[in-house]
Amino acid sequence: MIKRNQRDSEALRFDGGEYRGCSMRRLITEADGAPSFSMRVFTLDPHGFTPFHAHEHEHEVYILAGEGTMRTDTGTLSVRPGDSILLGPLDQHQFTAGAAGLEFLCCVPHH
């Protein structure tokens, strides 16, 4: 069993190129002994964003705080705290924070 506070995980900063104002903390990973999935928390600064991208695998997202949008192949959706999102393999997506920023959990299979 592992219990970890997100503040105890190193924040990896992505800022520039396809990212603006993005930080990621690895909460639970394969290195911790998790057999299948990793859990990460992303924080986007106000008006920050992730790249428009896709993965070979599914992943789940849960919006914790702030508001923003999620761009997909089929349009743009508003996201807010309490929203759960399932992204299937090869689903294109991009998260953009609103004026107050955006924080979300992301669970992905080890790859």
Whole-number Cα distances in Å, 47 to 22, 26, 85, 108, 111: 10, 22, 20, 24, 29
Q: Give the C-alpha separation, 29 to 16, whole Å.
A: 25
User: How many CB atoms are located within 10 Å of the residue 74 CB?
Assistant: 8
95 is written with which tokens?
């998260």
Contact 96, 47 (CB under 8 A): yes
pLDDT in tens, 80-99: 999 999 999 999 999 999 99
Instruction: Say which residue the tokens 């393999």 belong to.
Output: 89
Contact 60, 39 (CB under 8 A): no
Model pLDDT, residue 110: 83
Domains of the chain (ranges plus CATH)? 9-109 (2.60.120.10)
Angle at Cα 31 formed by Cα 70 and Cα 16, nearest 5°? 40
* Whether pLDDT at 111 is above 80: no
Model confidence at 2: pLDDT above 90: no
d(CA 103, CA 29): 19
Residue 73 sits at φ, ψ, to 5 deg, of -60, -25
